[in-house]
């Protein structure tokens, strides 16, 4: 197998069902999803398998779903078959609820960090938010953009926030509250959430 094809040497790339410029918003969106996946891979290397066996299994699942999400975003074919499923979002919501119960109750915003893996998870969280913003822009330009991709990324960033807190908690490192934060969380949820 040859890795290079030379077909992108003039600034174009292939997507499912066509070719676009490499700086196309679609490429930016699925490329950023790929970036999230790489940060998740970094997190996996930083977690102790004895303490985080459950988390590692979930992160592998997330990595597969991120490939699905990126593939769906790169798909402009008339025979569009999407891989990401609603069950993935439901599962993330279940895990978020579990993690909120496991970690100490939160009232204020926290500083990203604590342990090395938690810091990496926060990076994955913020890159996920960037991917989400790019998908919003893509949706404004292409009404066939799969809405499920946007929902998945929105939920995934929440999952990463909850996970970072659980990682710090299991490693006996307290989150550092943002000192000028108002009380924005009540019972683990933001005041504006229902």
CATH classification at residue 63: 1.20.1200.10
Let me know: does 62 contact 167? Beta carbons within 8 Å: no
pLDDT value, residue 52? 98
pLDDT value, residue 190? 46
Q: 79 lies in a domain?
A: no
Work out the angle at residue 167's Cα, subtended by the Cα atoms of residues 162 and 127, and round it to the nearest 5 degrees. Answer: 55
pLDDT value, residue 33? 98
- pTM, rounded to two decimals: 0.91
Q: 11 lies in a domain?
A: no
How many distinct structural domains can be found in the chain? 1
Q: 113 lies in a domain?
A: yes
pLDDT value, residue 187? 54
Q: 159 lies in a domain?
A: yes
Q: 177 lies in a domain?
A: yes
Q: 13 lies in a domain?
A: no
Q: Give the residue numbers spanning the domain of 134.
A: 21-74+86-190
Q: 9 lies in a domain?
A: no
Q: 103 lies in a domain?
A: yes
Q: How far apart are CA 85 and CA 131, in angstroms?
A: 18
pLDDT value, residue 118? 98
pLDDT value, residue 36? 98
Q: What is the DSSP letter of 81?
A: -
pLDDT of 151-168, one tens digit each? Answer: 999 999 999 999 999 999
Spatial CB neighbours of 98, under 8 Å, sequence gap ≥ 6: none
Residue ranges for the chain with pLDDT beneath 50 = 188, 190-194
């Amino acid at each position: 197998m040859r890795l290079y094809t030379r077909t992108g040497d003039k600034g174009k790339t292939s997507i499912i069902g066509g070719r676009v410029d490499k700086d196309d918003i679609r490429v930016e969106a699925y490329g950023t999803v790929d970036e999230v996946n790489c940060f998740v891979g970094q997190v996996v290397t930083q977690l102790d398998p004895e303490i985080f066996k459950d988390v590692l299994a979930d992160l592998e699942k997330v990595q597969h779903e991120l490939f699905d999400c990126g593939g769906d975003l790169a798909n402009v074919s008339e025979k569009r078959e999407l891989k990401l499923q609603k069950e993935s979002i439901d599962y993330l919501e279940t895990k978020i609820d579990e993690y909120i119960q496991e970690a100490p109750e939160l009232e204020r915003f926290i500083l990203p960090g604590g342990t090395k893996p938690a810091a990496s998870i926060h990076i994955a969280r913020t890159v996920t938010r960037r991917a989400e913003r790019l998908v919003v822009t893509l949706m404004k330009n292409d009404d066939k953009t799969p809405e499920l991709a946007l929902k998945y990324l929105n939920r995934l960033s929440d999952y990463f926030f909850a996970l970072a807190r659980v990682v710090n908690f299991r490693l006996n490192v307290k989150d550092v509250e943002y000192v000028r934060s108002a009380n924005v969380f009540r019972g683990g949820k933001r005041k504006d959430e229902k």
